[in-house]
Structure 1
Amino acid sequence: MLPKIQHLLKASPAVTALIGAGTDPITDPVRVYRHGDAPQGVVRPYVTWSVPAGDVENTFDGADADFFRVHVDCWSDGDVEVEQLAKAVRAALEVEAYCAGYYADERNLETKRYRIGFAFDFILSRE
């Protein structure tokens, strides 16, 4: 039902080179977290995502679809690394989504982590 964010990111060698491939949950976890929140003390870099908005398209001919606006945040301790991750994440997600824009390019005052945030639009058929 929701966009397959985890699947798309795991399918990208450029992304998994930075955030893990998920080959082992202990030694190589993929660091992609839903609901816009990552666990305390997570290894950086990592990605968080959430779905703040969506819409339903119902048609008489049965071509029903769901629209999702997905916020994706790339986090790192390094400015260069967060840019590399953001570039890789955008390329991975644009296989199935439209990048609707940027909403964050900042450094968190408390954690000192860098963040680049995107909004992606997914349209998923309910066939």
Structure 2
Amino acid sequence: MIAPIFSICAASADVRSILGESPIRLYPFGLQDDNVVYPYAVWQNIDGEPENYLAQRPDADHFSLQVDCWADSVATAISVARAIRGAIEGKAYITRWGDQSRDTETKRYRYSFDVDWIVKR
């Protein structure tokens, strides 16, 4: 029960051109390698529920995801977010453009946004 963000982004030439192909540097939150290569993006479920009905079992699940794009520069972080946006729009809805920040320890830049996804079962 996971939104198909990885498979959708992996099918996008724009995402692969910026996040690589082997592997694609789009990770579930906390699973990126200790040997970090920039740019990369992480995602995590922040909310969700089945589409519940009284008369039948749910036929879809709703997911809210947070996506964080990390890069060596502001421009590259925005380019990662733009590529992911292009891959998922039409299949999901971006509901919030979030923080743009710089990590004090790594000095890398982050662009964050939230996505709502309805996945048919």
> What's the TM-score once normalised by structure 2's chain length?
0.90
* Root mean square deviation of aligned Cα: 1.5
Distance 2:57 2:50 in 1: 13
Residue deviations 1:33-55, cap 9 Å, x none? 10255222311000100002111
State the shift of 1:104 in Å: 1.4
Letter in 2 for 1:115: R
Distance 2:98 2:106 in 1: 19
Q: Does the 8 Å contact 1:63/1:125 carry over to 2?
A: no
- Unmatched tracts of structure 1, length 5 or more: 22-27
> Which stretch shows the higher mean deviation, 98-107 or 52-61?
52-61
For 1:30, the equivalent position in structure 2 comes to: 24
Letter in 2 for 1:79: V
Alignment of 1:118 onto 2:105: no
Alignment of 1:9 onto 2:3: no
Letter in 1 for 2:29: H
Paired residue secondary structure (2:84): helix
Distance 2:85 2:28 in 1: 17
Percent of counterpart pairs with the same letter?
A: 38
Q: Does the 8 Å contact 2:45/2:65 carry over to 1?
A: yes
> What's the TM-score once normalised by structure 1's chain length?
0.86
For 2:98, the equivalent position in structure 1 comes to: 103
Distance 1:91 1:118 in 2: 13
- Unmatched tracts of structure 2, length 5 or more: none
Change (3 A) 1:40 1:63: closer
The runs of at least 4 consecutive aligned structure 1 residues that moved more than 3 Å come to: none
For 2:20, the equivalent position in structure 1 comes to: 20
